[in-house]
Amino acid sequence: MQEFPKWGKACWKNVLALSLGIIRKGTVCLNKVKDSIGSILDNQRTSASGHYKRLTRIFTEYSDTNLWSDLLQLSAMHMHKGGDFLMVDGTSWTQGDRTFHFMTLAILYNGVAVPIYFMNLEKKGISNQEERIQLLEEASKLFNLEGKILLADREYAGQKFIKYLEDNGFKYVLRVKECNFKTQWNEKSMTKAQMISKVTNSKVKGKTMSAKMKFEAGDNCRMVIKKSEDAEKEPVIFLLTNLSKNAYKVAEDYRKRWQIETCFRHLKTNGFDLEKMNVQGADRCRLMMAIVVFAYSVSIAHGLKKYKNVRLKTYANGKRYRSISVFRKGVECIAEAGYRIENWGEYILNHFLSHDRKICPKSINV
């Protein structure tokens, strides 16, 4: 790849072959992916075990290098429009005595969450505030995140993390629990109880209101209260934000966060079977995850080009949506194209990469 000349032709050939194999086979299990490598390389003479050794050499030779971070930058290079929203969340599972916990930062690109950075915390439970700060700091070294709006679920709120966001110019919408930030509630105009009552008793669907918060970290922090769509389970939703938008628009912005959950589903059970990752060691897992992100990003880019042709389907609630996701459409198109290594590489160079980028890798001269 011309953007990353330090990696030789053999390296890129093997990485591209593995990424295409993951898309074709729908799994990260190398023992299954190896069966597709012969046709991808147009080399049926080599045995399946020989192709397996080719794949494992990627991790033997490059897991302790920064190939993984170059792949993340490469994955982001096609995202030339959209991209105002970031999402942070984690996906975790256990495999024997091993625990995987990928805390992931994704960008919303044309309505689809695409990972741009991750950390494997290798632990059960949620991340702590220091780990979240580290994630953003490391991602900011690779990408220009200036002006992005961070969306995150309840477990990601915390005063230290919020102060970091404020100090570093991030905008944010964070869902919080009702019991959080009791002492920071500014009740000069209306008490918290009065506001909750007004929202829950309103006949307006999705009624929203907001109140100023008293934070040392920033003067523009507000709490948005939104009437929940599932009133029996949770009457209201609390959102902490420093956006100047009205309360309704803040609540609508937060709805976009769900896309990262869809992304995780495609990386795992409904896509690349990430939980079957069978490489050993933290560095090798990191490289594999970067290759999976690359394969996912290429699939999204391919799917978006053809998505307008996907038929609309009417669901039980009366609403109409596309019958398959952008990701599934991309995987389908790649399968139909029957790529081999040469034209797969040509596609990456000629159609996937762009120099008109909304999210800009810092290490590349643009």
Residue pLDDT, tens place only, 98-137:
999 999 999 999 999 999 999 999 999 999 999 999 999 9
Taken in order 102, 357, 173, 139, the sign of the CA dihedral is positive
Give pLDDT, residue 184.
67
Largest separation between any pair of C-alpha atoms in the chain: 78
* C-alpha to C-alpha distance for 100 and 264, rounded to whole angstroms: 13
Percent of residues, the chain, with pLDDT higher than 70: 89
pLDDT tens digits along 312-348? 888 777 777 788 899 999 999 999 999 999 999 888 8
Q: Count of CB atoms within 10 A of residue 85's CB?
A: 21
Taking Cα atoms as reference points, which of 117, 77, 98 lies closest to residue 359? 77
Residue 361 β-bridge partners: 143
State pLDDT tens for residues 278-301: 999 999 999 999 999 999 999 999
Instruction: Name the H helices within the chain.
Output: 9-25, 30-40, 48-62, 67-76, 129-142, 159-167, 192-201, 247-255, 258-267, 282-306, 326-337, 341-347
Which whole number is the average pLDDT over 207-234?
Answer: 82
Distances (CA, A) of 333 to 46, 127, 263, 268, 269: 28, 37, 18, 20, 20
Residue 22 pLDDT level (bands cut at 50, 70, 90): very high
Query: How would residue 93 be classed by pLDDT, with cut points 50, 70 and 90?
Result: very high
Of residues 354 and 213, more confidence is placed in: 213
Q: Pick from 358, 365, 328: which is nearest to 23 by CA?
A: 328
Q: Which long-range contacts (CB under 8 A, 24 or more apart) does 242-247 make?
A: 242/165, 242/166, 242/171, 242/172, 242/218, 243/149, 243/171, 243/172, 243/173, 244/220, 246/210, 247/208, 247/209, 247/210, 247/222
Confidence bin at 356 (pLDDT 50/70/90): very low
pLDDT of residue 308: 84
When pLDDT is cut at 50, 70 and 90, the band that residue 182 belongs to is low
pLDDT of residue 1: 59
pLDDT, average across residues 39-68:
95
Residue 1's contacts (CB-CB under 8 Å, 6 or more residues apart) are 7, 12, 74, 348, 349
pLDDT digits (tens, 9 = 90+) for 221-243: 889 999 988 777 788 999 999 99
Residue 364's pLDDT band (cuts 50, 70, 90): very low
Residue 293: CB atoms within 10 Å: 28
pLDDT of residue 316: 77
Look at residue 82 in the predicted model and tell me its pLDDT. Answer: 56
The pLDDT assigned to 191 comes to 79
Q: Is the pLDDT of residue 363 over 50?
A: no
Rg of the Cα trace of the chain? 22
Q: What is the mean pLDDT of residues 185-191?
A: 68
Among 151, 153, 176, which residue's Cα sits nearest to residue 239?
176
How confident is residue 90, by pLDDT bands cut at 50, 70 and 90? very high
More confident residue, 362 or 195: 195
pLDDT at 141 > cutoff 80 = yes
Mean of the per-residue pLDDT values of the chain: 88
Q: What pLDDT is attached to residue 80?
A: 61
The percent of residues in the chain predicted with pLDDT above 90, rounded, is 66
Q: What's residue 314's pLDDT?
A: 80
Residue 219 scores a pLDDT above 90: no
pLDDT for the residue 3: 61
